[in-house]
């Protein structure tokens, strides 16, 4: 019973971060399950099954608060679901460990670019022009769906980062659209795991506990996204992307072990820097709002 309560808390925290920043539910939940000795396939299966419920509630909440661009969802969701199904059933033999550092480097670079785009605004207001093409969204959905199923989480980190870096869609609609389309991805991945592992390979109690925690906080996270300024949300998401991928980079390319004090010292410095940048974005937003004739520039 205690473990199920703990999983419920994990689901709550993971969904709060995911619903607010558009990523981390799968990564956080899968990491916790694998840490206690659950196989990666079984952990990913439980996480994706719980996400069928959490993404449905989260998507409905984001829609209610006007955070969803339905054109983006319509183009992104089906390729994402197909990619997730393929990843869960046929691509589980891919060596994710060897690819992880390169994926982390790519995501961290995109996260740094997102930070740059929003930090360079200064006291000016961001503007988002144009729209994302289907030629960009459909392949992105497939790649993000495959990564999500294989790694237990990847839809948000890949999808949110790519959409934010395009500068075409305001951050709250990026988060809302990614969270809403993730329902189809979760269904595709769950179907793939049920096909590949059978019903005996999925622990319904784990999925139920994660689901319960996630459903409780999903509407609140969507409300926060609706009221956060694009500048603040962009800096928070970009910094979080850099932060979450830095650990993999430090362990793989600098040879720092997880128990190394140097590793956690560097991560602590990065956390402080990230929070400082968010605080700076809050201040810049207050300045922009207090200046009626502030310039409006493309993000």
What pLDDT, in 10s, does the model give residues 137-195? 999 899 888 877 766 567 877 888 788 777 788 888 888 899 899 889 888 887 877 77
pLDDT (tens digit, 9 = 90+) per residue, 215-274?
Answer: 888 888 888 888 877 778 778 877 887 887 787 778 777 777 777 788 888 889 999 998
- Percentages helix, strand, coil for the chain (3-state, rounded to 5) are 80, 0, 20
Q: 59-68, 146-155, 200-209: which has the highest mean pLDDT?
A: 59-68
C-alpha angle 74/80/169, rounded to 5°?
Answer: 50
> Distance (Å, rounded) from C-alpha 6 to C-alpha 85?
29
Residues in the chain: 299
Of residues 102, 108, 148, the one with CA closest to residue 245: 108
Predicted structure pTM score:
0.71
What does the block give as tokens for 75? 């183009």
> Distance (Å, rounded) from C-alpha 299 to C-alpha 128?
6
Q: Largest alpha-carbon pair distance within the chain?
A: 62
Q: How many Cβ atoms are within 10 Å of 166's Cβ, its own excluded?
A: 20
**Residue ranges per domain, the chain?**
2-107+125-228
Helices 134-151 and 155-166, axial angle in degrees (round to 10): 150
């Amino acid at each position: 019973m205690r473990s199920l309560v703990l999983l419920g808390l994990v689901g709550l925290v993971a969904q709060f971060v995911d619903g607010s920043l558009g990523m981390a539910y799968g990564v956080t939940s899968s990491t916790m399950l694998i840490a206690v000795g659950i196989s990666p396939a079984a952990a990913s299966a439980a996480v994706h099954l719980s996400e069928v419920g959490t993404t449905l509630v989260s998507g409905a909440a984001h829609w209610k608060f006007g955070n969803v661009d339905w054109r983006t969802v319509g183009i992104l969701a089906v390729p994402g679901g197909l990619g997730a199904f393929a990843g869960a059933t046929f691509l589980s033999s891919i060596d994710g460990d060897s690819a992880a550092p390169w994926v982390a480097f790519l995501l961290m670079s995109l996260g740094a670019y997102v930070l740059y785009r929003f930090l360079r605004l200064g006291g000016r207001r961001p503007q988002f022009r144009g729209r994302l093409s289907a030629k960009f969204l459909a392949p992105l959905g497939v790649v993000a769906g495959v990564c999500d199923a294989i790694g237990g989480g990847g839809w948000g980190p890949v999808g949110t980062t790519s959409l934010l870096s395009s500068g075409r869609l305001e951050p709250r609609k990026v988060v809302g659209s990614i969270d809403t389309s993730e329902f189809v991805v979760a269904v595709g991945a769950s179907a793939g795991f049920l096909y590949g592992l059978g019903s005996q390979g999925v622990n319904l109690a784990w999925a139920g506990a994660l689901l319960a925690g996630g459903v409780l906080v999903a509407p609140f996270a969507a409300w926060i996204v609706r009221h956060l300024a694009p500048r603040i949300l962009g800096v928070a998401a970009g910094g979080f992307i850099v932060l979450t991928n830095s650990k993999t980079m430090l362990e793989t390319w600098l040879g720092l072990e997880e128990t190394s004090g140097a590793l956690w010292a560097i991560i602590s410095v990065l956390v402080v820097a990230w929070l400082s940048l968010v605080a700076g974005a809050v201040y810049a937003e207050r300045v922009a709002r207090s200046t009626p004739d502030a310039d409006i520039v493309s993000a």
